[in-house]
């Protein structure tokens, strides 16, 4: 550009001036002694002289004017843009001109953007890493505010302690309404905290997902912008304009892209840059990529996909691919890690704690009874059908009492023998299914009460003002999958969860599936980076057993994840790679009229564990009537007869047993990075907080380290590419002086022209 301009100016100058003969004949030099000098001697001036043209002098001076004018323009641009983000200072590279072997002034070889390729690449890399941990630290800051401190009154550890304290007061006065309300309030506060934290973590995951979706749109805009700027950069390179503004604009776009998704930029010989992800997946090249993301936060979030676009036609080229596993840094990487790993792990740990809390307190509450015993006990939806095998062992007693706690009737059930007897009478067989057992129990209650099993829930009621109480045998307690009779059916639950807390269903491989034909289970297995390892779909067919469905799932997953039905009816999932996580993308299966899906019944997938805390609540029957809190215990055995007091008015043994639950050691399954362990509820809650604190501290440390790295890279790059005002002012003075000198030469040449013209007249 500059050479063409200068050349044109010189051509115009030559066209407007006459040629002045500068071949003045010098006097022939001679030695002092009249001897001719040697041809190549130092004193032979004639041998080194060149003819001088005024036009040549003028041309040289004019080139100096034009070159220094351009240099001043570049300097002024540097000063004007010293605070412009992404601007790289320009420097003038001058070169001498020659015509026929003679010097002919000065020209601009090129205007150079001052850049250090290594520092540029380091800045891009540091930008992605810094943005990754900035996103994580920001979300952890919100999470820490929600959780509260372990010593805070709202923390789970404090709530669990409050439950123990309230129960301690109830031990002293079990039938006092004030102590009952205080205990109920403590239970509700604990349940509310579980549910609230679960919802808040879910909200943070949704927030991360929304940010990912928004960033995906920004990335598409930046990728297209970089591709278009590449086109302009090629044209500028061909024209020799390597200092064009398009290069700054493109570098700024690449930096913005790196902040969202970690990238590498490789400069090409034609002036363009090839942009890839950290692991080399192409985003901008001969074609450009386009991202697509549908969103989702329930552990089944769809992958970010990448498709190549032909810029000539706007149509897709090549195969669509999942991009999640190829994203190594940037804001999106930090958000994906928070949504699918860190927050998901915490939701799973919280759900695990909530489930064990429900199991522990429900087991004891079902072993207790209230005074007076409630008129009816309504169980939860077990997901079982009346045609399912009963599969109980051991013994239990169902008692009907009056309002004073005196025995009205006793029904002893022997599941091993398959019989029940009323008030010590002859044993009667009740068959092997849940439906046949319920019918037999309903008959045994006679005029004292009723029993029904509807939509997976068992209900036992007493007639009139009487009440119902249940107690498993002390020596051979009733058990299905490890849970007692009342606990398994949830007849006297203290807490309710959004799905069954008891995952030991008691079902066997040979039991009928009972699921409506055509229902489908869609499974997704993801690796630690979020990449999809395996997707599979299992459709339930008519007549399948539980074992058939499990086998179909194993076949569909092809060894990437295996499923096994335990002797207690629980389903275990074991990924071939322990770091992989299984999610249920969707499940349309329904077991009979219960409305329960296969994945809910067995707690399939990591998200199901997290869901235990989402709907955690105190049993509505207790909320509506705090006197139903089971602070007493049924005192009955095979010799107890009608009229005997089986529930005492001042009995607080049940309240004491509930208080001891808080200090008892529980068995926790592995969840969300916390390994399986034996601990009290309070200790596990403390571990949960400690794990959150450690993860938060790690994110903050990484943020500090990467922010420092970015600042150092930017500082060093600025030292090379940034504008120094002192340096530019010095350059301006130098170019001004050079401009003035060139102008002075032109003035002298003008005077010489005037003199020659006067002589010519």
Give the Cα separation of 676 and 691 in Å (integer). Answer: 14
| One domain, residues 446 and 389 | yes
**Residue 121 CA, distance from chain mean position:** 26
Q: Label residue 461 left, alpha or beta by phi (over 0 means left) and psi (-120 to 50 means alpha).
A: beta
What is the pTM for the complete model shown? 0.84
- Based on the domain organization, do 380 and 487 belong to the same domain? yes
Query: 245-260 vs 117-147: helix axis angle to the nearest 10?
Result: 30
DSSP type of residue 596: B
Distance CA 501, CA 488 (A): 10
Residue 317 lies in a domain: no
527 and 484 share a domain? no
Helix, strand, coil shares, percent, the chain, to 5: 45, 20, 35
**Both 473 and 579 in a single domain?**
no
Question: Could you report the per-residue pLDDT of 491-543, keeping only the tens digit for each?
Answer: 999 999 988 999 999 999 999 999 999 999 999 998 887 788 999 999 999 99
Has residue 721 been placed in a domain?
no
Provide, rounded to the nearest whole percent, the portion of the chain with pLDDT above 70: 92
Contacts 24+ apart (CB under 8 A), 99-104: 99/56, 102/50, 102/56, 103/60, 104/56, 104/59, 104/60, 104/63
**Residue 658 confidence (pLDDT):** 98
| Mean pLDDT computed over 247-258 | 94
Contact 287, 308 (CB under 8 A): yes
Bridge partners of 462, per DSSP, are 449
Residues 6+ apart with CB under 8 A from 462: 373, 375, 376, 400, 401, 408, 448, 449, 468
Run of H or E including 114: none
Number of domains in the chain: 3
pLDDT for position 412: 97
> pLDDT at residue 689 above 50?
yes
Evaluate if residue 483 carries a pLDDT over 50.
yes
Work out the burial of residue 167: count CB atoms within 10 Å of its CB; fewer than 13 is exposed, 13-18 middle, 19 or more buried. Answer: buried
Q: Coil, strand or helix: which one is 650?
A: coil
Q: Which residue has the higher pLDDT, 585 or 551?
A: 551
**CA-to-CA distance for 251 and 231, rounded, in angstroms?**
14
Q: Are 479 and 506 in contact (CB under 8 A)?
A: no
- CB-CB contact of 370 with 648 (8 Å): no
Kindly state whether residue 102 falls inside one of the protein's structural domains: yes
Say yes or no: 464 and 524 in one domain.
no
C-alpha atoms less than 13 angstroms from C-alpha of 406 in its C-beta half-sphere? 6
Give the mean model confidence (pLDDT) for residues 719-731. Answer: 87
Judge if 395 and 484 occupy the same domain: yes
More confident residue, 610 or 361: 361
Q: Are residues 382 and 475 in the same domain?
A: yes
Are 423 and 476 part of one and the same domain?
Answer: yes
Ordered strands of the 407-414 beta sheet: 428-429, 419-422, 407-414, 395-401, 467-472
Check: CB of residue 584 under 8 Å from CB of residue 599: yes
415 domain-assigned: yes
Nearest to 157 by CA among 663, 659, 685: 685
In terms of domains, do 528 and 476 share one?
no
Residue that is last in its domain, among 558, 575, 602: 602
Report yes or no on 94 lying in a domain.
Answer: yes
Strand ranges inside 232-286, DSSP E: 263-267, 273-277, 282-284
In a domain, 399, yes or no: yes
Q: Give me the domain span that covers residue 530.
A: 520-602
pLDDT in tens, 554-594: 999 999 999 999 999 999 999 999 889 898 989 999 999 99
Residue 748 lies in a domain: yes
| β-pairing verdict for 457-462 and 263-267 | unpaired
Structural contact between residues 389 and 508, judged by C-beta atoms closer than 8 angstroms: yes
Share of the chain above pLDDT 90, in %: 70
Q: Is residue 92 part of a domain?
A: yes
| Rounded average pLDDT over 722-734 | 89
Of 568, 587, 602, which residue sits at a domain end? Answer: 602
Q: Are 60 and 105 in contact (CB under 8 A)?
A: yes
Picking from 390, 447, 450, the residue whose alpha carbon sits closest to that of residue 419 is 390
Give per-residue pLDDT as tens, 430-443: 999 999 999 999 99
Question: 491: closest CA among 387, 351, 634, 349?
Answer: 634
Nearest Cα neighbor of 353 from 689, 630, 694 is 689
Last-in-domain residue among 568, 602, 636: 602
Chain centroid to CA 504: 32
- Residue 15 and residue 61 in one domain: yes
Distance (Å) of CA 292 to CA 100, 212, 263, 487: 63, 11, 18, 48
**Residue of 493, 495, 490 whose CA lies nearest to 618:** 495
Hey, what are 120's tokens? 């540029």
CATH value at residue 438: 2.60.40
Shared-domain flag, residues 59 and 6: yes
The CA distance from 222 to 741, in Å, is 48
Q: Cis check for the bond before 372: say yes or no (omega within 30 of 0).
A: yes
Q: Are residues 462 and 551 in the same domain?
A: no
Rounded average pLDDT over 631-657: 95
């Amino acid at each position: 550009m500059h050479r063409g301009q200068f050349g044109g100016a010189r051509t115009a100058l030559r066209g407007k001036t006459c040629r002045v003969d500068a071949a003045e004949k010098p006097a022939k030099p001679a030695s002092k002694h009249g001897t001719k000098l040697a041809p190549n001697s130092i004193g032979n001036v004639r041998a080194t002289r060149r003819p001088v043209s005024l036009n040549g002098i003028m041309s040289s001076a004019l080139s100096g004017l034009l070159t220094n004018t351009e240099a001043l323009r570049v300097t002024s641009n540097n000063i004007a843009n010293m605070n412009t983000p992404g601007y790289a200072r320009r420097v003038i590279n001058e070169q001498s001109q020659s015509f026929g072997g003679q010097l002919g002034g000065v020209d601009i070889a090129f205007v150079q953007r001052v850049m250090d390729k290594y520092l540029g690449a380091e800045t891009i890399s540091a930008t992605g890493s810094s943005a990754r941990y900035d996103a994580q630290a920001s979300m952890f800051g919100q999470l820490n505010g929600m959780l509260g401190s372990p010593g805070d009154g709202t923390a789970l550890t404090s709530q669990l302690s409050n439950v123990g304290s309230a129960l301690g007061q109830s031990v002293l006065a079990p039938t006092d309404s004030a102590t009952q309300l205080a205990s109920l309030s403590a239970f509700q506060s604990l349940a509310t905290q579980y549910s609230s934290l679960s919802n808040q973590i879910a909200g943070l995951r949704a927030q991360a997902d929304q940010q990912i979706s928004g960033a995906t749109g920004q990335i598409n805009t930046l990728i297209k912008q970089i591709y278009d700027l590449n086109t302009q950069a090629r044209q500028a390179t061909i024209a020799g304009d390597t200092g064009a503004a398009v290069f700054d604009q493109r570098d700024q776009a690449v930096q913005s892209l790196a902040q969202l998704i970690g990238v590498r930029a490789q400069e090409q010989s034609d002036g363009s840059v090839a942009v890839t992800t950290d692991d080399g997946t192409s985003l901008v090249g001969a074609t450009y990529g386009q991202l697509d993301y549908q969103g989702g936060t329930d552990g089944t979030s769809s992958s970010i996909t990448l498709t190549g676009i032909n810029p000539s036609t706007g149509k897709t080229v090549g195969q669509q691919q999942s991009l999640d596993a190829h994203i190594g840094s940037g804001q999106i990487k930090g958000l994906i890690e928070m949504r699918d790993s860190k927050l998901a792990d915490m939701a799973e740990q919280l759900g695990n704690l909530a489930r064990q809390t429900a199991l522990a307190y429900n087991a004891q509450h079902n072993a207790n009874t209230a005074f007076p015993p409630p008129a009816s006990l309504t169980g939860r939806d077990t997901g079982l059908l009346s045609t399912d095998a009963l599969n109980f062992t051991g013994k239990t007693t169902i008692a009907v009492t009056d309002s004073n706690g005196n025995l009205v009737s006793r029904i002893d059930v022997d599941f091993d023998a398959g019989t029940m007897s009323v008030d010590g009478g002859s044993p009667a067989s009740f068959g092997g299914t849940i439906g046949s057992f319920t019918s037999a129990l309903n008959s045994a209650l006679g005029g004292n009460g009723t029993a029904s099993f509807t939509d997976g829930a068992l209900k036992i009621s007493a007639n009139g003002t009487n009440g119902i109480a249940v107690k498993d045998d002390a020596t051979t307690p009733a058990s299905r999958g490890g849970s007692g009779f009342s606990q398994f059916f949830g007849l006297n639950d203290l807490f309710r969860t959004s799905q069954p807390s008891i995952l030991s269903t008691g079902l066997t491989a040979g039991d009928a599936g009972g699921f409506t034909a055509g229902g489908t289970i869609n499974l997704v297995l993801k690796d630690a980076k979020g990449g999809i390892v395996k997707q599979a779909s299992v459709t339930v067919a008519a007549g399948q057993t539980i074992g058939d469905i499990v086998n179909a799932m194993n076949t569909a997953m092809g060894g990437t994840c295996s499923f096994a039905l335990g002797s207690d009816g629980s389903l275990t999932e074991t990924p071939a790679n322990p770091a992989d996580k299984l999610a249920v993308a969707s499940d349309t299966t329904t077991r009979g009229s219960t409305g329960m899906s296969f994945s809910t019944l067995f707690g399939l997938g990591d998200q199901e564990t997290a869901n235990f805390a989402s709907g955690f609540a105190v049993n509505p029957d207790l909320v509506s009537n705090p006197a139903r809190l089971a602070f007493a215990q049924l005192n009955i055995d095979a010799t107890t007869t009608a009229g005997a007091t089986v529930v005492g008015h001042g009995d607080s043994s049940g309240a004491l047993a509930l208080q001891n639950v808080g200090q008892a050691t529980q068995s926790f399954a592995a969840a969300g990075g916390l390994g399986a362990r034996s601990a009290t509820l309070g200790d596990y809650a403390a571990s949960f907080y400690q794990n959150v604190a450690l993860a938060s501290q790690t994110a903050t440390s990484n943020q500090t380290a990467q922010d420092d790295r970015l600042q150092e890279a930017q500082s060093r790059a600025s030292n090379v590419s940034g504008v120094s005002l002192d340096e530019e002012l010095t350059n301006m003075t130098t170019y001004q002086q050079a401009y003035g000198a060139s102008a002075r030469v032109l003035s002298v040449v003008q005077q010489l022209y005037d003199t020659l013209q006067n002589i010519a007249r």
